[in-house]
Amino acid sequence: MGSQGGWGQSKEFLDLVKSIGEARSKAEEDRIVLSEIETLKRRIADPDVPRRRMKEYIIRLVYVEMLGHDASFGYIHAVKMTHDDSLALKRTGYLAVTLFLNEDHDLIILIVNTIQKDLRSDNYLVVCAALTACCRLINEETIPAVLPQVVELLGHPKEAVRKKAVMALHRFYQRAPGSVSHLLSNFRKRLCDSDPGVMGATLCPLFDLITVDRSPYKDLVMSFVSILKQVAEKRLPKSYEYHQTPAPFIQIKLLKILALLGNGDKQASEQMYTILGDIFRKGESTSNIGNAILYQCICCVSSICPNTKLLEVAAETTSKFLKSDNHNLRYMGIDALGRLIKINPEIAEEHQLAVIDCLEDPDDTLKRKTFELLYKMTKSTNVEVIVDRMIEYMININDHHYKTEIASRCVELAEQYAPSNHWFIQTMNKVFEHAGDLVNVRVAHNLMRLIAEGFGDEDEGADSQLRSSAVDSYLRILGEPKLPSVFLQVICWVLGEYGTMDGKYSASYIIGRLCDVAEAHATDDTVKAYATTAIMKIFSFEIAAGKKLEMLPECQSLIDELSASHSTDLQQRAYELQALLGLDAHVVESVMPLDASCEDIEVDRSLSFLGSFVQQSLEKGARPYIPDNERSGMSHISNFRSQDPHEVSSHGLRFEAYELPKLALPSNTPISLVPPTDLVPVSEPTYARDIQPPPKVATSSDALSADIGVKLRLEGVQKKWGKPTYSSPAASSSSSTSQKTVNGVTHLDGVGTASAQTRDNLYDSRRQHVEVSAEKQKLAASLFGASSSKNEKKASSHKSIKGSTGNVEKSTTVVKTVASSESSKQGTSAPPPPDLLDLGEPAPESKPSIDPFQQLEGLLGPTPVQTTPESSVVAGPKAPDLMALYGDIPITNPSGSSTNPMVTNLYAANKNSQGATNVSTLKKGPNPQDSLEKDAIARQVGVTPSGKNPNLFRDLFG
């Protein structure tokens, strides 16, 4: 550049470039650039800056922006420079503006008039600069302002202008197809342009149009073939050659267009066979651009209707790619082989050793491409080898995106081609163990369903052996230090269902392992829920079998912990387990039947078995049920107020409990209760199940107020709400099903293939006679050995899994067309059964001889008889006592200064009666009632509780 600043730039600018290039740190570079920005701000603001100096300043602004700094203070000066009459300054201004601004920038409106004027210029260089700016700056709103002039320029005498006009029209189509839809015929006309450059530019918009809809352009097949023939025969000027290859990029674009037009059209494909054969014959494999054209020819041959001779030539070219030492060419060969085996799977036999070499290559990109090829080649004879290789590769990579893809492919191949259920379960265990968090949760449900259903035949022994092996493997896997959450859910479910089935493991041992799982994953509520349910199943099976099972200390501690959990789901499971321990064998067997996970459940949606109960309640004065379609929703939560039980509700939804016998209290002793829902925040259940949200039930506070005959006074009481609704998390979106064609199309006659020995010798000679190891030959035989059989039967005892995969049809020939369709059966989840322990009216007098619900209600004890000076009410003999949990809570009046002794005695009587009739169970750990009592006392005196369970009241006290 010289000391005088060659190419018209000052020495100051050259020194700036030199200093930035010699900067030793980013901080030093930023310091230099910030200093330059201050200098440019000062100099550009000078009104008497010479035009040549301003041009240099604009270029220096571009340099500042390229280094990542803000030069927005100079944008307006670049816009002004586009108005200059000097061609050099105008082109500099257009260059800077296209780099500075985007199509939505506010300054674009200042350039539209300049572009319109320049498009009408007599200097074609000015017109070209304006057309280039159109491609970068004109947005959808400003297209109509310049569109007529751009269309007019399609007939300009200069080829450079016509070419740029085609490019601008193509850009308008990409941004707003509707704005130029009436001008698409111009692309057909420009295809016949006398200049090859204009014709080549027209191929780009035509390719986009044919990709969207190829039928209107079927008549252009002969035109494209004729153009390709002229290009291949070197009829274009020498200036269009690249490394002695005539117009290679025009050839590649034409081959892509022909591949689209010939796909599924035999007549159009037959018109292409001759020119494709000529390109294969004249193709140069000594240069990269020549190999690129040959690769595009292979893609075209594999896309159009197949021709025997072309397939032979394509296979030969693919063989040259695979046997090259260049990684790029081997990558192209693997991709081309993946396209050809869809048409003729036998082509893969010739290159089995080359594929093995690519699989063992240290280049990760080549290895991934090889796994894609093996995925397309998988069938029942080689699925074990391929899936094992894919799992081994998946374990050793850290790319989560590709790891997820490999895991999903392993699952898909195992579900379609698994030779046995035992292999399928072991394979799924490996996938879950190493990539469980990346696998769709529906895959876990399918695995549990398969273990439950077994082989699907009448061989119970085989099914038992399958489940026993699953239990053994899961107990062994539990020793691993870190397991995914989804896999732990599967393990807990299997251990709960079949852990003690064959008597190999004792119930105490399985329960202990499940308690260890819950303790080790204390923050995962879903795993703890699965473990608790599994423990409940084991207890149920042992009680139903008449066996005596001692409660383990760690199990009792887990129950106590979950009983005071913030998760209502875990609380419910803990209370259900406690209730189950007090029932007899007959009831437990009815509630939790053995091995009934796959039994069809008949759901009585009308709840007809409750008809007599409802009728008795109506006779005793209960209100009739209001259907959903007659209810009117509440506008917002502030409308929720306690109402008198006998007052007609203005809202459609009812939030109070069913009416219970009320206890009349003196009118001069007002009582205010803080509802328990304010104490314990309600959180959503986090376990993943496809269930309906539980129906809305009355809150504990309403049931409490209905029981003692008073209503809560909620005015002025601060509410601490948890989640706005109680619902299960949305079920995971149904696992995406893929439809793919396996092993190509029908067999073609006349495809010449050399013998296996000849191919191996050819490959060995090209690889410098390197001796192939016995292990590699064995691996190749596993992958390709059985693929030469013409009438191979894919014997698979693996049962199709209902759910996400559907039924997979497999054909019995090697060269075939398979249209695999997958159907998903979406089961309708039944609503949860009604909670018969809550909302209870007094039980009817007449009872069946063996009534399991009577035992469940007996756990709560009868409601004691209480008498007041004003009225007395006698509860039913077996009415559930909802006050037992709150027996120790002191009751205060609204001022909080005194306690009502009568209600305290009522609670004490309830507590004593409850303690006299309850079934005694072993219970250790913290007592929730003690925690509630401590909190109530603390609220009276205004002291934050410091007991064992302060987190229970964290929301209340902040």
Both tokens assigned to 805: 């995969």
Mean pLDDT within 813-835: 39
Q: How confident is the model at residue 814 (pLDDT cuts 50, 70, 90)?
A: very low
Choice between 271 and 881, residue whose per-residue pLDDT is larger: 271
pLDDT band at 937 (very low <50, low <70, confident <90, very high): low
pLDDT of res. 96: 92
Per-residue pLDDT at 745 exceeds 90: no
Would the pLDDT of 700 be above 80? no
Average confidence (pLDDT) over 188-196: 90
Residues 46-85 as b or e (16 or more Cβ within 10 Å = b): eeeeeeeebbbbbbbbbbbbeeeeebeebbebbbebbebe
Residue 158 has pLDDT above 90, yes or no: yes
pLDDT of residue 505 exceeding 60, the answer is yes
- For residue 819, is it left (φ>0), alpha (ψ between -120 and 50) or beta? beta
Mean of all residue pLDDT scores within the chain: 73
DSSP 469: H
Q: With bands split at pLDDT 50, 70 and 90, how would you rate the model's confidence at 251?
A: very high
The angle subtended at Cα 362 by Cα 356 and Cα 366, nearest 5°, is 65
For the chain, helix (H) and strand (E) counts, in that order, are 39, 4
Say how far apart CA 725 and CA 455 lie, in whole Å: 42
Asked if pLDDT for residue 799 goes beyond 60, the answer is no
Three-state DSSP class for 120? coil
pLDDT value at residue 267: 92
**What pLDDT shows up at residue 601?**
74
Q: Which tens digit of pLDDT belongs to each residue from 338-395? A: 999 888 888 887 888 888 888 888 888 888 898 888 888 888 888 898 999 899 988 8
Confidence check: pLDDT of 790 > 60 = no
Residue-wise pLDDT tens digits, 12-56 = 888 888 998 888 999 999 999 999 999 999 888 888 888 888 888
Query: How far apart (Å, rounded) are the C-alpha atoms in residues 319 and 653?
Result: 74
Q: Give the model's pLDDT for residue 94.
A: 92
Residue 5 is classified by DSSP as T
Please answer whether residues 119 and 146 qualify as being in contact, where contact means their C-beta atoms are separated by less than 8 angstroms. Answer: yes
Phi, psi angle pair for 899, to nearest 5°: -120, 135
| 198-241 pLDDT tens trace | 999 999 999 999 999 999 999 999 999 999 999 999 899 999 99
More confident residue, 225 or 685: 225
What are the beta bridge partners of residue 867?
A: 872
**Amino acid at position 213, single letter:** D
Rounded to an integer, what distance in angstroms lies between the CA atom of residue 532 and that of residue 524? Answer: 12
C-alpha torsion sign, points 803, 804, 805, 807: positive
Amino acid 772: pLDDT: 59
Q: What is the pLDDT of residue 732?
A: 39
pLDDT score of 941? 53
Span of 288-292, 483-487, 657-661, 765-769 with lowest mean pLDDT: 765-769
Q: Which residues pair with 872 in a beta bridge?
A: 867
Residue closest to 515 by CA, chosen among 539, 484, 546, 544? 539
- Could you give the CA distance from residue 278 to residue 265 in angstroms, rounded to a whole number? 21
| Weakest mean pLDDT among 5-14, 146-155, 271-280, 601-610 | 5-14
Beta-bridge partners for 683: 567
Buried b (16+ CB within 10 A) or exposed e, 497-527: bbbbeeeebebbebbebbbebbeebeebbbb
Phi, psi of 242 (to 5 degrees): -135, 115
State the sign of the Cα–Cα–Cα–Cα dihedral 84, 88, 90, 96. negative
The radius of gyration computed from the CA coordinates of the chain, to the nearest angstrom, equals 40
Distance of alpha carbon 560 from alpha carbon 537, whole angstroms: 18
Are 94 and 138 in contact by the 8 Å Cβ rule? The answer is no
- Comparing 779 with 107, which gets the higher pLDDT? 107
- Distance, in Å, from the CA atom of 530 to the CA atom of 832, rounded to the nearest integer, reads 17
Residue 586, pLDDT > 80, answer: yes
**Range of lowest pLDDT (209-218, 405-414, 619-628, 912-921):** 912-921
Task: For residues 657 and 672, give the distance between their C-alpha atoms in angstroms, rounded to a whole number.
Answer: 18
- Classify residue 241 by its DSSP letter: E
| Tokens representing residue 360 in the block | 């063992």
Contacts (Cβ under 8 Å, ≥6 apart) of 896: 940
pLDDT band of residue 122 (cuts 50, 70, 90) is very high
C-alpha dihedral over 578, 582, 585, 589, to 10 degrees? Answer: -30
DSSP state of 242: E
Calculate mean pLDDT across residues 499-525: 88
Task: Give the pLDDT confidence of 595-608 residue by residue, as tens digits.
Answer: 777 677 778 888 88
Outline where 22-107 has alpha helix (H): 26-44, 51-66, 75-81, 87-100
Tokens standing for residue 869: 């000076």
pLDDT grade, residue 121 (50/70/90)?
very high
Q: How far is CA 590 from CA 502, 540, 857, 859, in A?
A: 21, 10, 16, 18
> Whole-angstrom Cα distance, residue 515 to residue 829?
29
Residue 314: pLDDT over 50? yes
- The token pair at 952 is 């229970």
pLDDT in the model for residue 250: 94
pLDDT greater at residue 456 or residue 165: 165
Tokens linked to 322: 């695979």
- The whole-number average pLDDT for the span 138-147 is 90
Whether 195 and 163 have beta carbons less than 8 Å apart is answered as yes
Residue ranges in 603-651 assigned as alpha helix (H) = 611-619
CB 340 within 8 A of CB 315: yes
Distance between CA atoms of 873 and 6, rounded to whole angstroms?
109
**Those residues with Cβ within 8 angstroms of residue 275's Cβ, 6 or more apart along the chain or in another chain:** 225, 228, 229, 232
What local confidence, expressed as pLDDT, does residue 358 receive?
86
Q: Is 80 exceeded by the pLDDT of residue 884?
A: no
Token reading at 586: 């007959």
Average pLDDT on 269-292 reads 90
Better-predicted residue by pLDDT, 771 or 882: 771
* Secondary structure (H, E, C), 143-182: HHHHHHHHHHHHHCCCHHHHHHHHHHHHHHHHHCHHHCHH
Report for 44-48, 252-256, 541-545, 665-669: range of highest mean pLDDT: 252-256
